[in-house]
Structure 1
């Protein structure tokens, strides 16, 4: 009996880490999508000839939240991730690296415009959240 209890307890301990959810920052489908929303927002904020597709962006964010819920994350966990100053800064750093890698001169609005138009033309996820005026 003791052997059976030990075996069951051992199986329970082995199963626990497998069922634990990773932090949302480690769920690429969520984190990368949120990064793309931030990049699109920065493009529309810095480029005077590109604007956000607000209805599409809002619907996208609601679907993203639903996807996180479907993965087992609670609204409280999603809000904590979304409102975390550390996570915001981490995503901003990833955004700065993205812009640098794409050759955006942060002091030149036209470089944001060029990137935005390229993303719109490619019909990327970033581009789908933007429209040229």
Structure 2
């Protein structure tokens, strides 16, 4: 019985190390695809609401989505400090806003073009996308 116990010990250690490997192999939070995709959609919705006078942001929905995203990041293995630093970083906010402007331009809404931003906002609401979910059409 003793040899079985000894041979089991290295196996348990290997399993424990393999289980820890994903936490050790986390990519930087600002490179994590799901997190960045969700944040980009929030930045796009914000830009639409800022540019289109007929649109306003749904702040409680946005807060709910941020909370879900925080929970996702924590479950993935990022620390609370990493998450907080990421979402409060001026550099990351600037990057997100720049990506949102690029996405909107690619979709036909140039900077300051209220009508195009309104059109995209309404299309996103009609598609029931996350961008649309974060907007309210007042018009």
Q: Could you say whether these structures have the same fold, taking a TM-score greater than 0.5 normalized by the shorter chain as the test? A: yes
Distance 2:120 2:22 in 1: 42
Task: Tell me how many residue pairs correspond in the alignment.
Answer: 121
- Choose 78-87 or 100-109, whichever is displaced more: 78-87
Name which of 67, 90, 99 aligns with 1:94: 99
Alpha-carbon distance, 1:105 to partner: 2.2
Larger Rg computed on CA atoms: 2
For the pair 1:111 / 2:112, whether they are aligned, the reply is no
**8 Å Cα contact 2:48/2:118 also seen in 1:** yes
Distance 1:76 1:26 in 2: 16
Alpha-carbon distance, 1:17 to partner: 8.4
- The SS at the match of 1:51 is strand
Q: 1:85 — aligned with what?
A: 90
Alpha-carbon distance, 1:87 to partner: 1.8
Alpha-carbon distance, 1:107 to partner: 2.2
Q: 1:7 — aligned with what?
A: none
- The SS at the match of 2:26 is coil
Unmatched 5+ stretches in structure 2: 1-16
Unmatched 5+ stretches in structure 1: 1-11
Question: RMSD of aligned C-alpha atoms?
Answer: 2.0
With normalisation by structure 1, the TM-score equals 0.82
Q: 2:72 — aligned with what?
A: 67
Alpha-carbon distance, 1:125 to partner: 1.0
- The SS at the match of 1:59 is helix
Name which of 44, 50, 55 aligns with 1:50: 55
